[in-house]
Structure 1
Amino acid sequence: MTIRAIVKSPNEILTTPTKKVRKFDRKLATLLKDMHDTMLDSDGIGIAAPQVGESIRVAIVDLGEGEDIIEMINPEVLETEGAVIDIEGCLSFPELYGEVERPFSVRIKAQERDGTWYELEAEDYEARAILHEIDHLDGILFDSKILRVVDPSELENEEEDIL
């Protein structure tokens, strides 16, 4: 189990669009494992490679509760639909929470760790997490999308996971 340091804002790696993954090897598999370990250790549900200091198009979403871990390599958003406003947080912004508007549903195309392509459709919280992480890969941070900052005391009655 390897826990990596989470890159906090402000840091240039977080706002720089990432490079496409071209090698699907043991190094990539190790990065995915380290990212998952780091995310779980920080009570997150999603993490992108720039958040652990790697400027490549790799992200993970794990909602827990028996759900599959979504590993996204070179993800592309194919379609979105609807809109919903909800509260988000981010591992790179400790103690910052805010209301963010995102599409209600998303369809993406991404690669597995072995390089094979897949498509995935997601709705609601899962779609929000996926889009939050893909934004990281494009150098877009959630603080730029906040409609209203939410005081942490407002979260006491809700169990918010951190994206």
Structure 2
Amino acid sequence: MTTNRMGLEQTLSDDNLKDLSAFLMESYTGSLDTLRYAYAAEAISELLAWRSASVKPVASFILVDSEYHQLAEKYAESPDAIKLYSAPPLQAVTMPDGWKLVPVEPTENMVVEGFESEPDSFFSNSDEWEAYKAMSGCQQAAHKAKLCWAAMIAAAPSVTNEP
């Protein structure tokens, strides 16, 4: 296992991947049965290209008179130059069951839904209202907090929603 420039562990070196890609392409006979080998080789080529791009600076800057000025290409290798690299794409977040990403500050809709979640003699069904009235003051407060939380979570925008 090797570690790349950004400190991430790589189980296969670039040379290992090149060898694997060559083997897969040699195994591809042109038939549908071996088409997956060609696809795998293409995926390896994309990974190698991404690795290569992430180790080459995308720009160089140098400090001159307390300001940053982009250097001309011929000065990119200057020892005084600050090299800027591309960052890897963000990884998708996998949420455990029962969890949801929510905004740090609630949206207006979340606040309204939370506020309107309080039990009410006119809008709650009669069994819920009777159970709520039978609770002690502390139980009612806890119940209202849970209802508010559930309503606000349900009203939170989804990460996958388009604007």
Is the shorter-chain TM-score for this pair beyond 0.5, marking a shared fold? Answer: no
- TM-score by length of structure 2 reads 0.21
Higher helix share: 2
Q: Which has the larger radius of gyration?
A: 2
- TM-score by length of structure 1 reads 0.21
Higher relative contact order structure (alpha carbons within 8 Å, sequence separation ≥ 6):
1
Higher strand share: 1
